[in-house]
Amino acid sequence: MSGRLMVIGLGPGDDRYLTREALAALEAADALYGYEPYLDRVPAREGQSRHASGNREEGARAQAALRQATDGASVAIVSGGDPGVFAMAAALCEEIGAGPPAWRALDIAVVPGITAMLAVAARAGAPLGHDFCALSLSDNLKPWELIERRLDAAAGAGFVIALYNPVSRARPWQLSTAFERVSRYLPASTPVIFGHAVGRPDETMTVTTLNAAGEIAADMATLIIIGSSETRVIARPGRTPLVYTPRAAEDALA
């Protein structure tokens, strides 16, 4: 009997960001697997088992879920944000591709969620209104030299850049280095947005400029958006500013 395996995006935080598809998938699962802080966001349901694991145990987590699904269960792996953006869906596919044929015969569903990049952008206005890219500053799975080349390419090409995993205790220097690299291509006045824990009770939003961005604290719960040379800030007295990137490139208007 073949089971089902779902990878479910929980969104950035509060339950109001969960899609109806995600809610239905969570309810239908016999077992939940996930990083413990993400599992804690899902209410316990009678008869549903829960299997928490550490932050760097994605492969083992996916294998355990695949084995239970192969036994006929309906299994869900929960992921913060969207499971396909620097998250569990890719880890699951890697294990399926390298695993036994039975894993490839399973019914697999990836249930999307709101990723941090989109949640922060919505809070700020429309900084992703034109071309953009997303980069992870973590060098756990790729060399720092590759991250530097991609930062250079993105900033040099005029992309707005969303930075995931900007800083941790093990690599406190990388974010400042990233700001230094993009400042070679962007003016000091370029808007930079820090969105911390968006969708959670401790949410904070900070809009600053590239030359002052190094003074703002960040952690692994922070998503940073670095604007392009075309990104604009609309000051609003008594209200938070609106940050947006025009839909038309300046070169196209010349």
Digit-coded pLDDT (tens) for 219-243: 999 999 999 999 999 999 999 899 9
Listed in sequence order, the DSSP H helices in 83-195 are 88-98, 101-104, 116-124, 144-157, 174-182
Domain 4-114 has CATH 3.40.1010.10: yes
Same fold, 4-114 and 117-253: no
pLDDT in tens, 57-97: 999 999 999 999 999 999 999 999 999 999 999 999 999 99
Residue range 153-174: mean pLDDT, rounded:
93
pTM for the model stands at 0.93
- Domain ranges (residues) in the chain: 4-114, 117-253
Chain centre distance of CA 94: 19
CA distance 240 to 121: 13
CB 92 within 8 A of CB 48: no
Beta-strand ranges (E) seen in the chain are 4-9, 31-35, 49-53, 74-79, 107-111, 125-126, 132-136, 160-164, 191-196, 204-209, 222-226, 232-236, 239-244
CA distance 118 to 35: 22
Domain 117-253 has CATH 3.30.950.10: yes
- Going by their DSSP bridges, the two strands 74-79 and 31-35 should be labelled as parallel
Query: Residue 81 pairs with which residues in a beta bridge?
Result: 11
